[in-house]
Structure 1
Amino acid sequence: MDFEAVAAQLRKPDGEFGKQVGAKMNESNWYINQYLIENLNLKSHDHLLEIGMGNGFFVKDVFAKEPSVTYVGCDFSETMVEEASQLNQSFIENGQAQFIVASTTRLPFANETFDTVFTINTLYFWEKPSEDLAEIRRVLKPGGELQIAIRPKPLMKKLPFTQYGFTLYEKEDVVDLLSASGFRLIGVVEKDEPVHQKVNGDSVQMVTVIVRAGKY
């Protein structure tokens, strides 16, 4: 298997292969998505931004948790934005959701737009995370919350594709990044997932880490 090609598609899914990778990510990332959605502190009519929503498979679960929210998903993969828009057409038609091509380096939103921003398994690909966090902080309302979900460095190092273009993090690294960017730490959740993945014949325990931080 061409792990470098897989890594490139995980970063930015493109074309038919990208669609296949997106569908596979729904399976491998099911628990990390569910854990973060469970962890969201949603209030009635909140405005949410998800960075890197992939094909939008889990958007329905956000609305199941709080039907009154307004959701925006952004991804710099045109393929994923198209897929997410098709999958969530009913939410779009109801004015509850929209999907746009955008990157954390330049979010096309006014200052203080969102109550919550969250992102799952994208931090590895941020080339200048301090600048990305400053941009996220700009679009968050005062008192708003950012949640970042990752898999920790010791686990990720066991996966063969992460040597290509991934920056790996311990939970402490994420906390330090957020603190340096002016966020206030709310808490850290670390949970073993009830699944293992086979890697080179070995069974690897999957782990979810969620770091929650607020805007002063």
Structure 2
Amino acid sequence: MESLTKLNCPCLREKAVKAMYKGMNLMTIPLSRWGLSHVEIHDDADILDIGCGGGRNIQRLLRAAPKGHVTGIDPSETAVSMSFALNREAIADGRCDVYEGTADILPFGDNRFDLVMASETMYFWKNPDECVREILRVLKPGGIFLAVNSKGGTCPLDDIYEKIIPGMKIFHQEELEELFLNAGFRDLDTDYKLGALALTAVKPMTKLDAVRKRLLLKEPASYGKIAIMAGILALIGVAIAAGSKKKE
């Protein structure tokens, strides 16, 4: 009885959960690096890590986007606490935020993120359709979603996990592609390595979105070119106006 009481102790359960997240931080290093090799991350990217776990991927993403911002979200209070502790300096600098929450109700505005990543977490989404629609909503037009799963549905043993782990769902390539295409994603690309799956999907960009993106020039040199062009056009306009007056 005493041993059972110890196992049911909240402090022991929390220690066990923390140990699990620490182990996942170490074991998923090769998987995360391989998954991230499928996307190009700009220095100033705004990134969302869904199911951030112990916070190690947040740390990687912060290094990949030194001028950007990374947000983590996880349904586990323990995971949020660990992610916060691991990325404390970035949070203090205003480059990182961590929230408790789920993928089907993302507490963010529309068209915010350049990249949304979900590593080893899709298995436990209770409402996959709603989760994917929410991801599409918070992504900027042209933004990318990256899913990384160590169990890609190609190994016969993958189906066993669904039977021994409550609530777990292994997604096969056809299921994932149908899920994202139905939500409105395009340009899907799937890659496999040693049974693991990496899927990228793009939020479509309308012609108006493309024009807006071209106008949002961030480099000073670009603004300088615009100023020069505006000056030249102004001079041309003055010359035309002067010529018209002479004719009169």
Task: Establish whether TM, by shorter chain, passes 0.5.
Answer: yes
Separation of aligned partners in 2, 1:168 and 1:115: 27
> Greater relative contact order: 1 or 2 (C-alpha under 8 angstroms, separation 6 or more)?
1
Would you say the 8 A contact 2:132–2:180 is kept in 1?
yes
Paired amino acid for 1:29: T
Q: Match of 1:169?
A: 171
Provide Cα deviations, 1:14-34, integer angstroms capped at 9, x if missing partner.
Answer: 722110110111233222111
Q: Match of 2:197?
A: 209
> Cα–Cα, structure 1 residues 38 and 17, in superposed 2: closer, same or farther, change >3 Å?
same
Answer 1 or 2: which has greater helix percent. 2
Q: Match of 1:107?
A: 106
Would you say the 8 A contact 1:175–1:185 is kept in 2?
no
Provide Cα deviations, 1:146-180, integer angstroms capped at 9, x if missing partner.
Answer: 11111212342355875421111112211111111
Paired amino acid for 1:140: L
SS in 1 for 2:56: coil
Task: Quote the offset at 1:119 in angstroms.
Answer: 0.3
Would you say the 8 A contact 2:49–2:116 is kept in 1?
yes
Separation of aligned partners in 1, 2:79 and 2:180: 27
SS in 2 for 1:157: helix
Cα RMSD (Å): 1.7
Task: Quote the offset at 1:94 in angstroms.
Answer: 1.2
Q: Match of 1:57?
A: 56
Identity of counterpart residues, as a percentage? 26
SS in 2 for 1:25: helix
Segments of 5+ residues of structure 2 without an aligned counterpart are: 1-12, 205-248
TM-score under structure 2 length normalisation: 0.71
Higher mean C-alpha displacement, 148-157 vs 17-26:
148-157
Q: Which structure has the bigger radius of gyration?
A: 2
Would you say the 8 A contact 1:179–1:185 is kept in 2?
no
Separation of aligned partners in 2, 1:162 and 1:124: 13
Provide Cα deviations, 1:82-122, integer angstroms capped at 9, x if missing partner.
Answer: 01101111111111111011111111111111111010111
SS in 1 for 2:37: helix
Q: Match of 1:188?
A: 190
